[in-house]
């Protein structure tokens, strides 16, 4: 919606000078808000037409004043149109400052990224993970590369970010980097956070993401079947690193813990609970949400196997994420598993198998440390085995005494 806009010229009659002339002013009004400034020119009131807003007559002075009015009005209207096209948010103060040449600091996108990332860097280990910080640095680099690629610019004013910019950046991520849909959405959400920061600081007054929809593409999250998991457990590895990578994966598959949480798991997190059995109790590194997980026999064997082998009271010695995922690919090959096995697949496996085996979605959600049960529902797979088992149970509760009763239904 366009704003209401008006330019008016008037005389400041309460400032009349000794020679009878009065100062000549311009007033700009946008959406009911007005600003005024002097034209650095005086005029005799008897030569001024209040209704027309210009000087009367053909004198040199009148022609000079009317030319000044015409040029000023044209310049102000031009500034207004440019602001409308560029920012879609115009104020009378902005127009006046641009017309008078009053410099306004232009905040740039990469400047805001740098400020944001600098502030977040000191929060690593407190309320921010190193990986999350790294993702913002990656998005900052992608934006910088895009600006050079598309516009041959090293930076851009935050006010220049509009729907077209976002659309071009999205297309760049798809074409130049061949990112998948959900990866692009993740990147754009990081950029949106920077834009929202600018909004909160009132550096801009409109959100270009308001009309730019970000929507996840539904994906089928992989998992290992029970037989695949058993083949991994039964395999005898000759290389110690492969065996350890397998053990970490199996531990995650029987606890639902993520790689980052297992990496930080300490012996103090493993406690005897109300039932006299061992439980893992802690908070998810990603969401700071509490989780409580019973230690199943398979997981307990792995804990005992690596007891005392890690430093700083850690329960299990864990590889770096990069090396861990490389090793898992080799583990899968040895075990004849053709699926793309990665660190997070173990967590997916735990969620899917527990739900398939009849563990309630509420219990699974609690063990996974999900903040929203809707996240857990992603794993509620309807497998053929689950359908078959449930329908068999249903059949046992429904019976017909004679064939004649059945025939009456036909």
Separate counts of helices (H) and strands (E) for the chain: 16, 8
Of all residues in the chain, the percent with pLDDT exceeding 90 is: 43
Q: What is the mean pLDDT of the chain?
A: 86
69-94 average pLDDT score = 86
Furthest C-alpha separation in the chain: 120
Class of domain 226-381: mainly alpha
Q: How confident is the model at residue 392 (pLDDT cuts 50, 70, 90)?
A: low
pLDDT of residue 58: 84
Are 5 and 90 in contact, with CB atoms under 8 Å apart?
A: yes
Question: What pLDDT digit, counting tens, does each position of 36-50 carry?
Answer: 999 888 888 988 998
Are both 109-211 and 226-381 of the same fold?
Answer: no
Q: How confident is the model at residue 275 (pLDDT cuts 50, 70, 90)?
A: confident
Q: Residue 402, SS3?
A: coil
Pairing of strands 22-30, 33-43: antiparallel
- Long-range contacts of residues 213-220, Cβ cutoff 8 Å, at least 24 apart: 214/185, 214/188, 214/189, 215/185, 216/181, 216/182, 216/185, 217/180, 217/181, 217/182, 217/185, 219/182
12-22 average pLDDT score = 88
pLDDT of residue 174: 92
The full DSSP string for 34-87 is: EEEEEEEEEE-GGGEETTTTEE-SSSHHHHHHHHHHHHHHHHHHHHHHHHHHHH
Does residue 302 register a pLDDT over 90?
Answer: yes
Q: Which of 42-46, 215-219, 253-257, 271-275 has the lowest mean pLDDT?
A: 215-219
Q: Which of 24-38, 67-81, 115-129, 327-341 has the lowest mean pLDDT?
A: 115-129
Does residue 389 register a pLDDT over 70?
Answer: no
Q: How confident is the model at residue 67 (pLDDT cuts 50, 70, 90)?
A: very high
335-356 average pLDDT score = 89
Q: Which fold has domain 109-211?
A: DNA polymerase; domain 1 (1.10.150)
Does residue 28 register a pLDDT over 70?
Answer: yes
Q: How confident is the model at residue 202 (pLDDT cuts 50, 70, 90)?
A: confident
| pTM > 0.75 | no
Task: Provide the residue ranges of all domains of the chain, joining segments of one domain with +.
Answer: 5-100, 109-211, 226-381
């Amino acid at each position: 919606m366009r704003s209401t806009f008006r330019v008016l010229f008037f005389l400041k009659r309460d400032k009349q000078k000794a020679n009878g002339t009065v100062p000549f002013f311009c007033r700009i009004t946008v959406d009911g808000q007005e600003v005024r400034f002097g034209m650095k020119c005086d005029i005799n009131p008897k030569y001024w037409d209040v209704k027309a807003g210009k000087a009367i007559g053909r004198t040199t002075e009148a022609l000079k004043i009317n030319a000044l009015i015409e040029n000023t009005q044209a310049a102000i209207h031009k500034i207004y149109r440019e602001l409308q096209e560029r920012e879609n948010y115009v104020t009378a103060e902005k127009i006046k400052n641009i017309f008078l040449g009053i410099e306004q600091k232009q905040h740039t996108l990469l400047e805001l990224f740098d400020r944001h990332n600098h502030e977040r860097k000191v929060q690593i280990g407190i309320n921010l993970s190193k990986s999350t910080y790294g993702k913002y640095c990656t998005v900052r680099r992608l934006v910088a590369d895009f600006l050079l690629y598309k516009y041959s610019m090293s930076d851009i004013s935050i006010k220049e970010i509009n729907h077209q910019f976002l659309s071009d950046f999205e297309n760049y991520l798809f074409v130049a980097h061949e990112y998948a849909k959900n990866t692009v959405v993740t990147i754009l959400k990081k950029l949106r956070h920077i834009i929202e920061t600018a909004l909160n600081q009132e550096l801009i007054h409109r959100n270009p993401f308001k009309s730019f929809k970000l929507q996840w593409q539904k994906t089928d999250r992989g998992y290992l079947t029970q037989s695949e998991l058993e083949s991994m457990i039964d395999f005898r590895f000759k290389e110690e690193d492969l065996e350890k990578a397998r053990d970490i994966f199996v531990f995650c598959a029987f606890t639902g813990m993520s790689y980052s949480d297992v990496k930080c798991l300490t012996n103090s997190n493993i406690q005897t609970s109300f039932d006299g059995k061992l439980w893992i109790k802690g908070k998810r590194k990603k969401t700071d949400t509490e989780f409580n997980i019973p230690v199943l026999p398979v997981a307990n064997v792995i804990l005992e196997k690596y007891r005392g082998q890690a430093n700083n009271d850690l329960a299990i010695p864990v590889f770096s994420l990069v090396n861990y995922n490389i090793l898992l690919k080799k583990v899968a090959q040895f075990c004849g598993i053709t699926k793309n096995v990665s660190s997070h697949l173990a967590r997916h496996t735990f969620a899917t198998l527990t739900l398939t085996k009849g563990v309630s979605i509420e219990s699974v959600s609690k063990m996974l440390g999900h903040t929203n049960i809707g996240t857990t529902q992603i794993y509620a797979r309807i497998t053929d085995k689950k359908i078959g088992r449930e329908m068999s149970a249903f059949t046992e509760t429904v019976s017909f005494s004679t064939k004649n009763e059945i025939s009456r239904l036909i």
